[in-house]
Structure 1
Amino acid sequence: MKQLALPLLLIFNTLLFSQSKIDSLQQALDHAAHDTLKVKLLHQLYFEYENREPEKARKAATNALELSSRLPKGKWQSKSSVIYGDYLYSQSSFDSAITMYKRARKLAQAISWAQGESDALFGLGNTYYRKGNFEKAKESHEQKLKMAKASGDKESLAGSYNSLGLICSEQGEMTQAMEYFVNSSKMYQEMGHLKNYSITLMSIGMAHRQLGNYEKSKEYYLKSDSISTILKNDLGRAYVYHNLAIINKNTGHLEEATLYNNKGLELFAKLGDRKKVGELHYNQGSIFLEMKTYKNAAEAYKRSLEISKATNDSMMIAFSNCAMGQAFLFLNDFKNAENHLQQSAEISEQIGLFPIEMDSHEFLSEVYQKKGDFTKAYHSRTKYAILKDSLFTREKRELANEIEAKYQNEEKTKEIALLESEQKLQTLQLTQRVNERNAIIAFAIILLLLAALLYNQYRIKQKTNRELRALDELKSNFFANISHEFRTPLTLIKGPIEQLEQNPSKGLGMESIKMIRRNTNRVLQLVNQLLDLSKIDKGSLQLERAEGEVYKCLRGAASSFSSHAAQRRIDYKVHIPHEVYWASFDRDKLEKIVYNLLGNAFKFSDDGGTISFAASYGNNELRIVVSDTGKGIPEDKLPFIFDRFYQVQQEATREHEGSGIGLSLSKELVALMDGTITASSEINKGTTFTVALPIQKIKTGTLTSVPDSKTKQNDILAKKPFILERTKAVGLPNLLLVEDNPDMSYFIKEHLQELYHVVEAKNGKLGLKAAKQNPPDLIITDVMMPEMDGVEFCQAVKSNFDTSHVPVIMLTAKAGIENKIEGLEMGADDYLTKPFESKELLARIKNLIEQRRKLRERFTQRETAIDPKEIAVTPIDRKFLEGLLELLEREFSDSNFGVREMQSELALSKTQLHRKLKALTGESPGEVIRNFRLKRAAQLLSRNADTVTQIAYAVGFNNLSYFAKCFKELYGVTPSAY
């Protein structure tokens, strides 16, 4: 069997472990103040732990990757990804390593960092090589080689040559491989890189071994071993012993081969390299095969195969299966031989390992021949011959190309000599041609420059247009958001004032006054934020420092949210040290930062959640941490949350509206104070904001007592006033108010509760549940709500059989015509834009309820012809009435047809049928059946169709006196008089 070289990996630095260096790095890491420095120190720790303590190396690589993800996209993220890819590669997690290297390359390309992209390509090439995907490995290393040539990086160039040589040797392209190895060796020797030089010497020795030049191969391996011994490089020596074992086996020195193989096996096991241990077991199996101890050979190959499968080494799996097949063939175990050889052939074909595929088919033909299956033996031998001819043709083509290249070089030398001899005779002609050519080139260059200039102008114009469009869109979104942000509080201010203007003697209640104050403060806060941003843009906002107590300032700002937390049953934790922190700082800007961060935390936390505010001082800086247990921010949105006017949720159902300037302003204020602000978040677990401000402490002390936020919150809960609920008004129409803003809900209810019984719901989901349980006479809903927005809620109401008849009025702060059209298309009966007049709302409610009442009266009129289109508003109701009338037309003459039969035919419960008919017609199911029969009787009587008795029986009445009584109640006269 032809033996092929196994992959050689680049050897890492194996100098003596320096505990003192690790200790100093760890100490520096513990005291590092910035994430960038921490990442840098973790990288250094990884390289120290890399070959000796894998678990600590993993921890360093993981921490570096996690920390760098918080930094702006750049070199540190790319470098951390490469280092984590190296760790995954060392653990044989090749697919994960490839993903990480690709990520590193993408990050490096984004910032045009050539070194980072080169490192990522190197990792990709090595990983594809280990997986046996030589084409992709070659592609990666060729890209790295191209970059190295462009940048003039000799070390990277030499490494690329060596890697490409290894790939070519595995593909059987030995001439090209040798050329790469020699170039790499010369460059490392010139640069004085002994360790890498020893690696390339091994590569050349491997190439000579594959070509059968064993003495030459030994010479290079021993030379490499001498360098590794000087450098105390155990890994390099292990590789040398491995290859010397192969050479001695191939030359028949089997005892020496076993000795070297055992030495290499011992060193690789000590270094923890499982792949190489598997390869040396494979090598030992080959030695046993040469000794003709086939059983021992099969056992050694089996150990190699087990390790290769465990490490996902596809190339070694193919090698080991082929070798085991050969061993079982010699043991006459044809079944196992056939099984392993077929696996080897399949894997080799998949990864393009043609020599092993060829050997597998050669041995398979022998197996089938001994089993007596000559058809399969013939097919395997044919496949073997095809592969062999293919490899032989490739080698001949390489040799022909080499001869042709030499011939062309000689011919070019002759041509150059001839040209030099004729140069003097052609000087004038050449000068003229050169001048003409130069003129053409100059003209072409001018044209190209002109074209490039025009193209550049076009690109600049296009880019400017894109930026202007983006700016215009940003402005439009901002004005839409800010106008919506102003509309709700203005509505809540305007409404009570108009109420006071109309009824001066009545005055305003305390709740209305508090509501006006809250919403006035909200508008003022928005205006102040906009003014601050304007000052920052102009560079006119300056720090106004004054000496004061920092912790006291923070306690005051934090305590202002205690009441809000108590009302919403939020576990609000405030951790501020019990000491005096006297410093020179800008109190106003610090409070604005705290208010914005805590305001966001409360805004995006559910009732009953947890919010934490912590402050501490260390390393001459104030550190503030605000965390909540809210919904969290998606990882892909986290880098943009500090952008001006950016809002994470853009859908209509987002729970909390905002202008998108709070966090942007906070970041600008922190930057003005030379501090940093960072955010971390996890979906459905919460968000944490961390602020670090360099505020130098002047003096310190200890507080005698600090009010506990928990106690204060409990006091507020204990002092919650008793609210006397209003008793339900009897006989008033029922209204369902679906509004998530408590102030707006209170304002509307105050204006309606005298005339209607109002039921409230905080969002569309709860509103739909309430409407289904007890359908109201009318629904008022906001458009922007959490869980389910107003448009979706309206659609659900109008498409549900139990609620489709209920009129819906939609309220919104969005005044755009497209928003109004969308609401009306979903079935809304009316649409009001905030701010609105309370009188207008009352008038529209009254009109809609009156309209439904008139429709019900239309059904109960004496006319015999009933058109569902005149009574029903929605398609569902119209369809229901059409089905009802069709059923009555078919069954009215049957005296046994009653309410129960109607329920069965319409597939409705008694409650559903009664509720629906009452809402649409104002009549109960029994009244609908009775009045329909009476109308048909009146129709027949008006035509003199028959006697009164016969007509009564014909329309389903068995009792003539009851028929006469009911007829007189409906029409005011007896049937005979009619």
Structure 2
Amino acid sequence: MYSSCSFRKSRVNQAEVIPFTKKEYDSLRNVMLNVNLKSNKISELVNKLLKETDGVINPNELAKRQNLLVLYYLKVNDYEKADILLDKIQDYYKENKKWAEYVTLSKIRCISLRGRKKYTEMEIVLKEAIEISERENVKPYDLLPLHELSVFYSYDLGKHQEGIKYGKLFFNELEDFHSTKETQKVYDSIKRYTIDVLNLTMGKSYIQVNDLENAYKHLKLAEKEFVEENDVKKIIRVYANFIEYYLKTGELEKVKDVKTKYLNYNSELNNFLITSNKKIAEDNINLMKEEREGLVVKEENKRRMLIIGSLGTFLLLVIIFQRYFLKLKYEKERIHLALEKEQEFKKFRASLFINIAHEIRTPLSLILGYIDLSEDQSINESELEKYLIEIKRKSNKIISNISDIISLLKEDKKEEDVKLENVIIEPFLQQLFFSFESVAKIKSIELNYNVELPTNYSLKTNLNKLESLISNLVSNAIKFSPKNSTITFTAFLEGDLFHIHVKDEGSGISKENQKHIFSKFYQEEKLGKSEGFGIGLAIVKDIVDTLQGNISVESEEGKGAIFKVEFPVINQEENKEREIITKKIKNEKNGVITLSESVFNKGSKLLIVEDNPYMIDYYEKILSKFFRCDFAFNGEEGLEKLSNKEYDLIISDVMMPKMNGIEFRKNMKNLSINKRAPFIMVTALGYEENKIEAFNIGIDDYIVKPFSKKELIARINCLIENKQKREEWVQSSDEVEKEIETFEERNLRELQELILENIHREDFSVAELAERVNFSQRQLERITKKLTGLTPVKFVLEIRLQEAYKKIKNKEEADVNNVRYSIGMKSASYFSVKFKERFGISPSELLKDG
């Protein structure tokens, strides 16, 4: 085997090595890969290679020997020596532009990196190899990094989409080789076994991304080849993936069949291990016999039998434990699968409850609000009647919503027996459409009614369901349309179909969302956004299906949407006389917004950001008597108003289109004015985590729908009063001296000076402060609360935070930590939280902005 590696002495006394032929090199490489480390072959070969590398002249021959040594060092986990040689080989290939060899070496480099879990470096090496392959056209060797990268993403990182991507590239490249010669070259270079391993990898990855059709195809290919090769270990892996595949498809009988195959092959593997161990034991016994031939005695035989018995017992225990752990593995997989299903159900349930809360709590808030307004003794009978009508209408809306939700949730609901009646349809459509006139006026929306039907046309339909359908479509159109836009309602006959179109000029619906908007409880997955469509369009779809019609949507983002509904005409007599009925309403500026502006001369100034026109109408009724109110229909409009006017307090909903309440509050910190105005969040989401997130971004109060009028007004007054007292105290603290100073004000100034004198002390307490000014803690609390609205503890904290703000703003310290220590606050997290609660911006952000 090694005859070709013999030495010849050169003229300069340097050993020259005879070059390897390809056959010799492949043979030696195979020995290095497959022979046991304890074999004398490996030892002899390594010594031979080490001697030859010292004297070899030809750099190409040197690289071949270094390649073989790298394989040995990786076998014995000597990564340091392997890396040194890999760097030398790689530099040689790069300098001499041997790109095929360079790309091939990337696979060996990855074996070294994988052994140390250096996954980031693995990814860099393989992607570099792929780039070189594309640039230098080193086919078929470009398949090696593609194969390795696919396996790397799937098995090492669990990034199954990436694994599939590079696996597909591998198979696409493979298909490019058409001739027999090239195909054979690929198989010689890459080996059939590599393709089979990739089929197994792709099968596993497709299962993880739920592409079960492709998973099955690749697993069947892998199964076929590994069964033919009788590679038991790989067959076991194939069937383990098939078990997961059939669990996902729900084919439990096939799970049992595959499980049986899995256990049979596993048993075969165990039998092989037992046979191997038995052979080792027999070899050891024979060795012992040879060593002690002629000296065997009865006691020695007993000892040997004891060894064999112990070995047999050990092997039996190995089999028992292996099967036990296999059982545990299956149990773990079953539990994991059950947990995944439970998590998916919990996610769906949470989404469902949020949608239901948002759909019901707003009309419930309005009902309670109108009840409060009805109890006011100063209202006249017409106003009372109006409020009672609204209460009834909203109550019916909630009952209808609940019925629709129950209907949608019934997976096994039977076909509904819908009662149809002949109705002269045009007056009904006109009355229903213009019932939204008052709501449209709030947003200055023009209602355009355009119906072309025969005179006194009678349609056979179910009025209740038709009313629910149209109401949902029109209310959605109003909700998602901007101010000063137009909503057009169209109805006409065409052939045997009755058509209804509702067109708006809103922000439109993306192509992706158009696929899902009629699905149950679909909502765009962005926290707090009402860009999704909740249950409204799912109800519409359910009604259309019940009436045996069709619904579709045409929309482009930024260009509005048209919802088109068509119903089959049932047993109608043809009437060729037609009447074009057209009515347009253009809203003049005499609605709620103008009323609010007309009273913009009393009390504190409020900005109310709310997308629901009914809620805006209610806010105007209850708040305009006490405050100067201004309105915005989403966060973007709110920011625009905040940048131009100063407000004493802001109220905002969470779920709004374009910019939700959370994003609106976060963006306020970038404004020069109003960024510290008290902020009340009003929402249908009452979960603890929603409150925590809201408080973390600096809101002052959180009100969950439904709420009472008195509660809302009380909270507004409290926040405005605290703001005014805080501003008065801050203003007074900046004055150097006053001409007239009361006894309590002198005490307050003395307290402030004393706190500033000891501000660097973390242990400076309220008890010590009271003692230093000769007050009891109770007297101290009375003075600070009277003059500042704050308790002594909050008063000390306020001075610390004010001092920190000045130091950061004026850049008096090098960093935030120095500021924190200078004001006596050692806890970084506590300081950051309190600072952000107080000023609506973190210390680090203020330092950066300043």
Which TM bucket (shorter chain)? 0.3 to 0.5
Greater gyration radius: 1
TM-score for both structures, normalised by structure 2: 0.45
TM-score for both structures, normalised by structure 1: 0.40
